[in-house]
Structure 1
């Protein structure tokens, strides 16, 4: 078994000050770059930045932010979480990440997905009715592009390519993952193209994803492709004590959950759901000991190669930064000891 990697993910969520005033987007992005430098100094393995097109998230161009991170770091691997491939052009996605791979000296990884929000579809002129078709065809093209060979491809969502070379080239093949929220079809499709499986486990018991990992392994065998890696992405916040973590996180968690619930037709949330996600679900919140124990339990249950903590909870940035420090300094070493 390979040693498990530990990373951090952020969507560039807008933080706020002690008076509850939102942080301007430019400052959120600058803070994020600083977070990545801290993560690199702590020896973490991966730092991923999401793509969104809505006011509560500051990052719409992950590769630009990651290029700034690449210039300020030495070893940490850099990726997206996720690149919304459905509303982008795979050729440009490949070119941007190939450029990132060059400036970072081979540290770039693509995490492609359909995205959990749909604002990018009208913004870039795509129809939501083509949701599945767009992703299927563009993922197929991305698979051709990362091979490094001249590309011949045709489909219905963009112009065909014939023996087309795409630049810049990369020294080695870039790792590609597909962000999956939990549908069997997405798992099988990821295996078909030989990509890594990046599971977004944002609620509920992580154990319910065991069948998806088993399916991924069986599908890879069926398609006769080499076994690829599996990663997990889940939200969390670490503080000195369990009580402090709850106090720091609850108001922001409730506000965001309520807003998202209104958008998606969910029922009201409250302390019971909050506590249930901490105790039995996929919210990794508490003291270093509590969070380490929960991560170790997840990694014992799920056969994965990387665990990423989505650290950008709606709290002041200083709280986020302290959470990162506790994750790298205390949580990750404790988890490694528990697994050993």
Structure 2
């Protein structure tokens, strides 16, 4: 069955009605409550992304996920993403193996190159080595995952000679997913490695990612990778409220704050207009906003279009009052997820 979950970056942008901004420490505490609620309403996975910017609260998702592991029972806990290029793969594995212990086998790593680059100068890495860093460190992480004693001849990473890496993960085949914005080269590399893939479907309509998802499956199968490892997930921005028009209206401001902040640093982005926003909510866009029935139908559409194994609703993008976020999570787990699951259960029986 399809897994349904939430991804978040712990955004800290001004609230529309008050102009106030949640502090980083307050937002981090909120995230733990959100994980616990997502677990209690039956969602399958919760992911937190790593950033090193003022408008995102979380630079160390593994610590927040560890806190969330303690009082949850079922939900899987993953980074979304860990910026592997600027991390030590040994330390990354140890951190998530520790979460795996705390959660009794519910931790995962989602590795990515990082669409934001603040971590590279912060940790002393050269952006000129952007691709090489990721490829080498991913190979190293997979070696650590599969072998207790590590031997590694590093170019950008350290050289290690037959040293054990502890603790070991509870899960024998510890899950490592790889995220991509939809580049062909990334898709091919991930498929050749036989790793599950996550597409960030946040711009174009889902149908534009279908050739990539189909190519990923074909290449991975041709490489001889087992079917249970060939998995596709997607992450899309979204929001849920009891009323359709209310959801559409209240989500514009926080969404615009985030997009406008990103546009300051990226020449190919522009500040969001209301027209841009409404277009993103249409069938030509990937943003999923509305009441439970509308959101469920749009999630079903993206799952069917890409034949997904897992879907993340990035909730929210930009800051909304925390009580509204908790209500959105409740609606997702209690009303949206059952609609989606029932649809696919009935389709399987037909």
Smaller-chain TM-score bracket: over 0.9
How many Å separate the matches in 1 of 2:236 and 2:53? 21
The residue number in structure 1 matching 2:8 is 10
Q: CA deviation at 1:53?
A: 0.4
How many Å separate the matches in 2 of 1:153 and 1:194? 21
Q: CA deviation at 1:149?
A: 4.3
Gaps of 5+ in 2: none
- The answer to whether the 8 Å contact 2:235/2:311 transfers is yes
The residue number in structure 2 matching 1:155 is 154
Q: 2:277 aligns with which of 274, 278, 284?
A: 274
**Matching of residues 180-191 of structure 1 within 5 Å:** 180-191=180-191
Q: Post-superposition, which runs of at least 4 consecutive aligned residues in structure 1 deviate over 3 A?
A: 15-18
How many Å separate the matches in 2 of 1:88 and 1:40? 29
- The answer to whether the 8 Å contact 1:15/1:317 transfers is no
Bigger Cα displacement from structure 2, 267-276 vs 195-204: 267-276
How many Å separate the matches in 1 of 2:303 and 2:158? 43
Bigger Cα displacement from structure 2, 256-265 vs 113-122: 256-265
The residue number in structure 1 matching 2:290 is 286
RMSD over equivalenced CA pairs, Å: 1.4
- The answer to whether the 8 Å contact 2:256/2:271 transfers is no
**Matching of residues 8-157 of structure 1 within 5 Å:** 8-14=6-12, 16-17=14-15, 18-157=17-156
Query: Relative to structure 1, is the Cα distance of residues 165 and 192 closer, same or farther in structure 2, using a 3 angstrom cutoff?
Result: farther
The residue number in structure 2 matching 1:226 is 226
Tell me, what secondary structure is at the counterpart of 2:264?
helix
The yes-or-no answer on 1:203 pairing with 2:203 is: yes
Tell me, what secondary structure is at the counterpart of 1:263?
coil
Deviation track 1:74-111 (CA, whole Å, cap 9, x = no partner) reads: 11110100000000011110111111111111110000
- The answer to whether the 8 Å contact 1:10/1:312 transfers is yes
- The answer to whether the 8 Å contact 2:82/2:112 transfers is yes
Query: Relative to structure 1, is the Cα distance of residues 214 and 147 closer, same or farther in structure 2, using a 3 angstrom cutoff?
Result: same
Gaps of 5+ in 1: none
Tell me, what secondary structure is at the counterpart of 1:75?
coil
If the length of structure 1 is used for normalisation, what is the TM-score?
0.96
- The answer to whether the 8 Å contact 1:15/1:28 transfers is no
Tell me, what secondary structure is at the counterpart of 2:265?
helix
If the length of structure 2 is used for normalisation, what is the TM-score?
0.93
How many Å separate the matches in 1 of 2:188 and 2:169? 27
- The answer to whether the 8 Å contact 1:313/1:320 transfers is no
Bigger Cα displacement from structure 2, 55-64 vs 240-249: 240-249
Tell me, what secondary structure is at the counterpart of 1:264?
coil
> How many residues are paired up?
338
**Matching of residues 167-182 of structure 1 within 5 Å:** 167-171=166-170, 172-182=172-182
Deviation track 1:48-82 (CA, whole Å, cap 9, x = no partner) reads: 11100000111110111111001111111101000
Query: Relative to structure 1, is the Cα distance of residues 159 and 313 closer, same or farther in structure 2, using a 3 angstrom cutoff?
Result: closer
Q: 1:329 aligns with which of 308, 330, 334?
A: 334
- The answer to whether the 8 Å contact 2:299/2:340 transfers is yes
- The answer to whether the 8 Å contact 2:3/2:309 transfers is yes
Q: CA deviation at 1:14?
A: 1.4
How many Å separate the matches in 2 of 1:108 and 1:192? 24
Deviation track 1:238-289 (CA, whole Å, cap 9, x = no partner) reads: 0112210122111121222222223111234311111111012111101111
Tell me, what secondary structure is at the counterpart of 1:40?
helix
Tell me, what secondary structure is at the counterpart of 1:198?
strand
Q: CA deviation at 1:148?
A: 3.1
